[in-house]
Amino acid sequence: MRMPPAFSKGSVQAGQLQVYYERRGRGTPLLLLHAGLQDHTMWEEQAIALSAHYDVITPDLPFHGQTMGMDTSILVADVIKILLDSLHVPTTAIGGLSMGASAAQDFVIAYPGRVTKVVLISSGINGYDKAHPIDSSSMAWYGAFSKALNEKDTVRAAMEFTKAWAEGIYRSGDSLKAPASQYVYRTTLANLRLHQMKGWPLLQNEPPAEQRLSSIQAPVLIIDGDKDLPYIGACSDYLEKNITGARRVTIPGVAHMLNLEKPAEVNKLLEDFLGSTNKTN
């Protein structure tokens, strides 16, 4: 008889942070890191689908979701290491979307022996904007978002964030009616109200990941959408060219939050790349 997937949740002390996580399934560990202003729940479809063969760990990164505390000095790579150490996970596959992908880059660069495979979805690159010009279309959304934040209009800030990252600037817009847009709007608004942008996961800047990508030796899968901001497409190009052996898949017709828009397609890509190893009966 097949055993039901295990499920647990809790918090781990990392510096002055209480890092919340959920853990679902049995088998090879897989750590999934969420996008900025989102939380672990964005991986629900992946966690359910992959938990049959994987031990799926979904934390809330610093200043997001149910992770609490104030610590602006601890690197996110070290937060991840402390979490994995506390859960007795010596090695893991790691995946992240957007901000989570940047955190995943930092972790595999800092602790290469802890990572078996890497999935970078809709990924930025820390340091890329300092070394390369950013297109005006990508910068435009940030101006509108920042203006709303400066005016303390969290509702409008959440709407601007959703329009850029869920709807996408190359689509006519769904007036926040699509399920992915509704999820991103609700989660963004809740995160802005709870954490008030008091901090952000701290990435390594000396040197930043943009200068260290060639050190990544683990197998890497890059996934992006062709309706995302141009900046993300440029970062995906850069990752593909600067990580030896990296494989890239561009999904047509989707914007930034592509795991929410095309969960079955993303699940299949993850399963094929990671391999259905350590199946538990």
Q: Under CATH, what is the fold of the domain 7-133+198-274?
A: Rossmann fold (3.40.50)
**Domain limits, the chain:** 7-133+198-274, 136-195
Can you give the pLDDT at residue 277?
44
Q: CA-CA distances (angstroms) from residue 91 to 21, 111, 240, 269?
A: 17, 10, 24, 21
Mean pLDDT, all residues of the chain: 94
pLDDT at 30 over 80: yes
The dihedral formed by the CA atoms of 221, 124, 200 and 115, expressed in degrees to the nearest 10:
20
pLDDT tens for 236-252 read 999 999 999 999 999 99
- Tell me the mean pLDDT in the region 192-219: 97
Closest by CA position to 239, among listed 255, 220, 252, 258: 220
Can you give the pLDDT at residue 281?
33
pLDDT at 3 over 70: no
224 contacts: CB under 8 Å, gap ≥ 6: 121, 122, 123, 232, 233, 236, 248, 249, 250, 251, 258
CA–CA distance, 234 with 116 (Å, rounded to integer) = 26
pLDDT tens for 46-79 read 999 999 999 999 999 999 999 999 999 999 999 9
The token pair at 202 is: 């701290």
pTM as predicted? 0.95
Can you give the pLDDT at residue 137?
87
Burial 16-54 (b: 16+ CB within 10 A, else e): ebbbbbbbbbbbbbbbbbbbbbbbbbbbbebbebbbbbb
Q: Do 201 and 79 contact (CB within 8 A), yes or no?
A: yes
